[in-house]
Each structure stands twice: as C-alpha cells, then as structure tokens.
Structure 1
C-alpha cells in the first residue's frame, strides 16, 4: 500500500508533462493529420517505446552515468538537436515545395502503398524522436530518482515503468484518434500545410536551441 502514493504522484506529473506541447506532441499532430489514424497510433507506439527505454535506463542508473559524463551527454544532445533540426527542415521544405507545385495535380501513391511506407517509418520516427530528446533523458532521470524510492521492490519498479509506458501510449494514441475523426480529419487536411509548417518550425526551434546551447555553454 505504501507504494501507491508514489505511483499516483508519478503518473500525475507524467501526464502533465505529456500534455505539454513539445516534439512528441507535434509529431503525433503532424503525422496523424496528414497520414491518418493508423499511422498516428503507430507513431504513438514508437514514442511510448522511447519513453519505456528512458524509464528503464533511468531506474538502472544508465541515464545517470550518461548525465555525469559531459562528453557523452554532449554527443547525445548534439544527436538529438541535429535530428530535430533535420525533421524541421524536412517539414518546412515540404511545405515550400508544395506551395511551388500548387498548380500541379497531386499524384499521391496508392493508399495501401502509402500506409505500408508509413508503417515502416512511423514506429522508428516516433521512437527516435523521443529517445534522442536530451530533455526526455533529464526529465525521466529526475522524475524517477525523486519519486521512485531506492528501496522500492523490483515488482514496484516494474509496475512504475509499465504504468509510464502504458500512460504514454494511451495518451498519444488517444490524441491520434481524436485528431482523425471524420469531420476533424477533413478540416485538418485543409490545414495540412499550416500544421506541417508550424510543427517544422517547432522542431527547428528546439533543435537549434539545443545546438546553440552546446556551442555557447554558460
């Protein structure tokens, strides 16, 4: 019973963090709006698997070792910053290309091929976006080291990790589900260039700030 209180606090803080706008949130909004519900849910699974790995690394002490090695942590930050920057530039370039080709007839791939291609990429994109986010590493390290007592049983720690993973998947899957309702999906399709551009600028901003912070240490 004494382990219930940490679980409640852990989930409350985690849910609030999940609901705040960031790379994970933007990735679901962008891809669910463009490619549909199935791709959005696969993205959600990829993001939640990244969170699962962050949680395991934090509880096993691996994240602490990374955090205490300045060179290793800087490499992780640089990789995360570059990846977000790459995602952002790709999204913005796509919007600009679409604007230039506005008068051309869009020849999109057949639905089945389109979905297969996205299934192959969606899981990896969701996982990579989360696992390479240095803020996620610091967040889960702080969260779990503070709210999961060192003396908690192995069963308790496994339960905590499982709850974090399940909550993450359910939240992002719910977000993808809500964004792909029939009426909302039609509206989102009309706003796709705006959503892509906004998400792209968000990725570019976060990636640039990470890299700038590395280049100009306080």
Structure 2
C-alpha cells in the first residue's frame, strides 16, 4: 500500500469541509442528542460513519458513476431520500412539550435496549443522501488518482468513515453541555419542530 500524503491531505480537507457543513446528518445527530440523550446520539453517529463505507464501496466499484449517469436510477434515489427526510421532518413537527425535570436515566435505559434503531437511523440517513453519492463520486474520480491501488483506496475510505464518526461523536458530546440540555428541556419541542422544517426543506431542495 503506497499512500500519497498530499492526496490524503487534500481528501481530508475536502471531507472536513463537507462533514462540518449543516445537512441531514448534522440535524439528525443534534436532534438525537438533545431529545434522546448521549447514548442514542453516539449510536446514530456510528451509523452515519458506517454509511460512509457504503458510499466508499460503490465508488470504488464504479457503481456511483452508473447511478450518476442513469437518470431514472438517480431520480429514484432522490425521491426515496426526499420521502425519508420528509417523514422524519413530519414526525419532528409533531413533537410535544416535555416536562422540565425529565428523567434522563429512564431515557438512557430505553436507548440501551434500542441501540440498533439509533444506529439504523444514522446509517439510512447517510446512505440515502444523494449529495453524499455525488461527493464520493467526485472524490474517487477527481481527487484520488486513477492509478491508486485498491488497498490504498480502501484505506482512504476507512479513514473517511472513521473521521465522520469521530466528528459526529464529538457533536454528540456537545449536546450534553448542561446549559444546552437545560434550554432543550424547556424549549425542546420548538427545536424539534425547527429541525423538522429544516429536514423537509432539505428534501424539497433535493427534489429541486
């Protein structure tokens, strides 16, 4: 495996700009952390990181290019992603006010048994994001030289997945800051509704 550190640095920079930009992943992790607690947010973050491996896999295999150059397939992906984001957004809009002194321990017990739901949420949101498809298509066709070995491409892909998971795990810990948690307990249903509007807006943006 022959790693070009200049290529790696350029990949890391492009990925950093992409991953810190607000998007569906950002909105979901923030909502999970504030609504369901740290454990759920961390599992969702790991799901998002694992979803990156899906994009990396079909980019290496060239399937992403097929998706991009096949209009009906790409449109189907757009519609599925938009519908899923709208569904999550509508559920968020239906959020109700919570008691100020919410028992976080009960919530932690619940998420311990339902970790797979939090993980699946992150994986599906990232895996269905067509903008991620385009990003990895551009990355593996433009930023990574064509002569790069398969092992090196896999290394880059694993790095991107791990870096994504680390970023969103950090974001998950931000949601545990006491002032943020207190504000959410008081006005969390308004935040949920705002996130619902954001997700529905992203779905409309994808369709347009």
Q: TM-score, normalised by structure 2?
A: 0.90
Q: Which stretch has the larger CA shift, 186-195 or 156-165?
A: 186-195
Q: Cα deviations across residues 123-156 of structure 1 (Å, max 9, x unaligned)?
A: 1111111111111111111122111111012221
> 2:149 matched to 1:149?
no
Instruction: Please list, as runs of the form range in 1=range in 2, the aligned pairs for 1:48-197 lying within 5 A after superposition.
Output: 48-94=49-95, 98=96, 110-111=106-107, 114-116=110-112, 118-197=114-193
Q: How many residues align?
A: 206
Task: Could you tell me which runs of 5 or more consecutive residues in structure 1 were left unpaired when the two chains were aligned.
Answer: 214-218
Counterpart in 2 of 1:216? none
> 2:36 matched to 1:35?
yes
Between the aligned partners of 1:190 and 1:75, the Cα distance in structure 2 is 40
8 A Cα contact 1:59 1:145, kept in partner: no
CA RMSD of aligned residues (A): 2.3
Between the aligned partners of 1:155 and 1:2, the Cα distance in structure 2 is 9
Q: Which stretch has the larger CA shift, 149-158 or 29-38?
A: 149-158
Between the aligned partners of 2:103 and 2:169, the Cα distance in structure 1 is 29
8 A Cα contact 2:36 2:107, kept in partner: no
Deviation (angstroms), 1:184:
3.1
Q: TM-score, normalised by structure 1?
A: 0.86
Judged with a 3 Å threshold, the aligned counterparts in structure 2 of structure 1 residues 185 and 152 are, in CA distance, closer, same or farther, namely same
Between the aligned partners of 1:196 and 1:130, the Cα distance in structure 2 is 19
